[in-house]
Amino acid sequence: MPTDTAASFRNWHLKCERRVPPSGAEPISLPNTKPLTSHFFTVDVEEYFQVKALESVVRREDWLSRPSRVAQSIDALLDRLDRHGARGTFFVLGWLAKYRPEVVLSIAAAGHEIASHGFWHQRVTTLAASAFREDVRSSKQALEDLTGAAVLGYRAPNFSIIPGWEW
């Protein structure tokens, strides 16, 4: 049940979006106004066969023999984001920088941030500390070498950085 304060804010927010003053007077025109809310938009970018659910079915050695679907999906998403003037952070596998560079370059060319999602899409909880460091290092290097931009962000595959797994 919303509080009176929450209900008041919601009503005020709706009136502001409709540009109707609280007095109920005629709507006013406010050129070049922006919405009162903003959002962060992030995307994990990997091929459909690189997900945890298929790791026992599709071996890493077979990834290059699988049909790629990531370019088509990313192109459609980039078009939609461009139509709305939205930008986001794309957490991309280093593997894609090496084997599907056109996908990564299209994301960067559209003005989105490129961040790391690891090289092989391995859960952190399955890696030794040294293997984790190498996975992040190689992904960061592949993405930076391809795009020429610093990679500052990292998102663990399957959100696998969890308490108690600090080696």
Residues of CATH 3.20.20.370 domain(s) within the chain?
A: 42-159
pLDDT higher than threshold 70 for residue 22 = no
Distances (CA, A) of 104 to 113, 128, 158: 10, 28, 20
pLDDT band, residue 100 (cuts 50/70/90): very high
pLDDT higher than threshold 80 for residue 142 = yes
Please write the tens of the pLDDT for every residue from 42-68.
999 999 999 999 999 999 999 999 999
pLDDT higher than threshold 90 for residue 94 = yes
CA within 13 Å, CB half, 112? 30
pLDDT higher than threshold 50 for residue 110 = yes
22-38 mean pLDDT: 61
Q: What is the CATH number of domain 42-159?
A: 3.20.20.370
pLDDT higher than threshold 60 for residue 18 = no
101-106 mean pLDDT: 99
Q: What's the chain's average pLDDT? A: 86
The predicted pLDDT at position 30 comes to: 59
The predicted pLDDT at position 4 comes to: 53
The predicted pLDDT at position 80 comes to: 97
The predicted pLDDT at position 156 comes to: 97
pLDDT higher than threshold 80 for residue 107 = yes
In sequence order, what DSSP letters do the residues of the chain get, joined into one string? ---HHHHHHHHHHHHHHTT--TT-------TT---S-----EEEE--GGGSGGGTTTS-GGGGGGSPP-HHHHHHHHHHHHHHTT---EEEE-HHHHHH-HHHHHHHHHTTPEEEE--SS---GGGS-HHHHHHHHHHHHHHHHHHHSS----B--GGG---TT---
83-92 mean pLDDT: 96
